[in-house]
Chains A and B, each alone.
Chain A
Amino acid sequence: MGKTLAEKIWAEHIVRAADGEPDLLYIDLHLIHEVTSPQAFDGLRLAGRTVRRPELTIATEDHNVPTLNIDKPIADPVSKLQVDTLRANCAEFGVRIHSLGDKDQGVVHVVGPQLGLTQPGMTIVCGDSHTSTHGAFGALAFGIGTSEVEHVLATQTLPLARPKTMAINVEGSLKTGVTSKDIILAIIAKIGTGGGQGYVIEYRGSAIRALSMESRMTVCNMSIEAGARAGLIAPDQTTFDYILGKPHAPEDFDAAVKYWSTLYTDSDAQFDVEVNLNADDLEPFVTWGTNPGQGASLSSNVPNPADIADPEARGAAERALVYMGLEAGTPLKKIAIDTVFLGSCTNGRIEDLRAAAEVVKGKKIASTLRMLVVPGSARVRLEAEAEGLDKVFIDAGAEWRNAGCSMCLGMNPDQLAVGERSASTSNRNFEGRQGKGGRTHLVSPLVAAATALRGTLSSPADL
């Protein structure tokens, strides 16, 4: 029997396999940032260990950094200490770092691909659950905890139990105004936040193949919101074209393409589970609740918990509506928004900024809200400025910020106030995620832009 793509990559990285033990897997690339690494470096020092392969490791500052006044010292002393600790650890252990102010600083999952360090067939880890983003290149990429960060630093390997495999087949073609964000939000609503638990997802089908690399990254990014630690897409010409010319693209590109072309699921391979989704039927999709599975088409209404059969899901929906301050039956398009956040490892890349800029160009955002535009990396910011996108956003009344995770997780000063409601292109609508008491609706960049103009949840078709 043939192998799935995930099984092929897994097999190529087994350092040691023994009955009754997890496989020891080799890690090709380890991305680190300031929040989940300090305790790992401390562990190394305590045990007298070194970083085994600094040249397979790269660090950047993203989670807690400010997006304003980045030329000045970080005002919050605790954040500053954490960033300073990362810098000192990288200096001590010889790890490459891109600090605030550097053109390659940015959200770790934007930085890897833009440097060409993310390539097909690799194993990639980071102390961040959205590491699944890199799966868009046909890599096996997943988030790890700090103990595992220390393990990879020390040994360049991880002991891991073999995951099960799930195929999600998305056939058909997307209507205008429908994006890869809508695909993944619809998938999560369909299979639930625990649906992918224990699986590596492979996204397949004509609608997936038609996506650009950056749109594929959006899909794989939110695999974790469906419960799957990793999600991937078989590499193809779109993938190869994206990597070509990047700083760390292979020198022998033809040889690399020859290898990458072997990375697909064999026709006789069996997935443990298959799920189908029709792209033709999809509409812009938004969340109404407090977990990413609580979503619906933008044209529908806030659901009535009484209509939900499963008692657990019904209770969760009831609690979510109370937290979100929403009435069952309210049209989603009637929900007024206070803050629009465009950015994050989900939708902070140049294509996302271009798509949103196209919508707001020459128009003004609603006077009732603020809009934050936070490029995923300093390089994305520079690229956008070269195209004049910064002016488009500023002229429309939006704030043009520096790169970082920003309001996606509210660890820096970019936060929602109590009761404030956002339309956010990020990945999690958990209670308090974007600031204590804040209310989040997850949306695509197109919906974010249209919402900014109209003041209520909207798609460009509503303009």
Chain B
Amino acid sequence: MEKFIKHTGTAVPLRRSNVDTDQIIPAVYLKRVTRSGFEDGLFSAWRNDPEFVLNRAEYKAGTILVAGVDFGTGSSREHAVWALQNYGFKAVISSRFADIFRGNSLKGGLLTVIIEQNDVEALWAAIEANPATSVSVDLETRTVSYNNVVLPFAIDDYTRWRLMEGLDDIGLTVKNADSIDSFEKSRTTLKPATLPIRG
């Protein structure tokens, strides 16, 4: 995974709350067996509207999505994260994310940043006043900054370290294979197994 330390770019204001994973990418787009090419399904129901924010010339180059509260509710589809990344987003800012979406995003290196709703509103206003506003998301200092505003955000030390090092979770767990082996030795035999198949 690519290391994430700091990203600076322009931002896209998505003034909607409760943007669920069916809005981010509808189920009909989930049939691919690859991790790429999902950008065509991103916000597909809204993309036909020329006024939709992603269709407006001034936001075409945006790499940071600034969304309303409860972004990513609904399904566990990691395709939602891939669609945002395939489109070119590096970070999403909101005042609250759904748990599974946030977990998926931080596994895959799409930084989800939580700031207060009034700070989201102020950021929306700043971007809309000047779409070329440069916004930085800095994992090292745990801050979002634009114009003269600096907003701290919280992220746990472990996830921050993993993202900054670009480490793969499976690789880290495999290093602890001994503890998995010993756990399995003490595991109760009462738990079911799928094999052999019973009638």
Provided the pairs A155-B180, A227-B73 are in contact, do residues A431 and B32 lie with their beta carbons within 8 angstroms? no
Provided the pairs A15-B183, A159-B169, A291-B73 are in contact, do residues A411 and B27 lie with their beta carbons within 8 angstroms? yes
Could you say which of A145-153, A176-184, A267-275, A329-337 contacts chain B? Answer: A145-153
Interface residues on A, range: 35 or more
Tell me if B70 and A145 are in contact (CB < 8 A). no
Binding site for B on A (CB under 8 A): 15-16, 20-22, 24, 26, 28-29, 35-36, 38-39, 42-43, 47, 49, 52, 54-58, 63-64, 76, 78-79, 81-82, 85, 96, 116-117, 119, 122, 127-129, 131, 142-148, 150-151, 154-157, 159, 161, 193-194, 197-198, 224, 227-229, 247-248, 250, 252, 255-256, 259, 291, 312, 315-316, 319, 409-411, 428, 430-433, 436-437
Contacts of A259 in B (CB 8 A): 188, 190
Tell me if A193 and B73 are in contact (CB < 8 A). yes
Docked complex Cα distance between A287 and B51 (Å): 29
Chosen A-B contacts, 19 in total, with CB atoms closer than 8 Å, are A24-B173, A36-B78, A39-B34, A39-B78, A57-B194, A81-B31, A127-B76, A129-B100, A131-B76, A143-B100, A145-B108, A156-B184, A193-B70, A193-B73, A228-B99, A247-B198, A312-B69, A411-B28, A428-B74
Task: Answer whether residue B45 sits at the interface, using C-beta atoms and an 8 A cutoff.
Answer: yes
Closest 9 CB pairs of A and B: A145-B104, A145-B78, A38-B33, A143-B76, A55-B195, A411-B27, A147-B107, A146-B78, A78-B31
Contacts of B98 in A (CB 8 A): 194, 197, 227
Which among B70, B176, B192 has the greatest number of chain A C-beta atoms within 10 A?
Answer: B192
Tell me if A26 and B197 are in contact (CB < 8 A). no
Interface residues on B, range: 35 or more
B173-190: contact bitstring with A at CB < 8 Å (1 yes, 0 no)? 110110110011001101
Partner among A119, A151, A155, A161 whose Cβ is within 8 Å of the Cβ of B192: A119
Could you say which of B14-22, B58-66, B130-138 contacts chain A? Answer: B14-22
Chain A residue with Cβ nearest B174? A155
Tell me if B192 and A248 are in contact (CB < 8 A). yes
Task: Answer whether residue B75 sits at the interface, using C-beta atoms and an 8 A cutoff.
Answer: yes
Contacts of A248 in B (CB 8 A): 192-194, 198
Contacts of A38 in B (CB 8 A): 33-34
Docked complex Cα distance between A439 and B79 (Å): 23
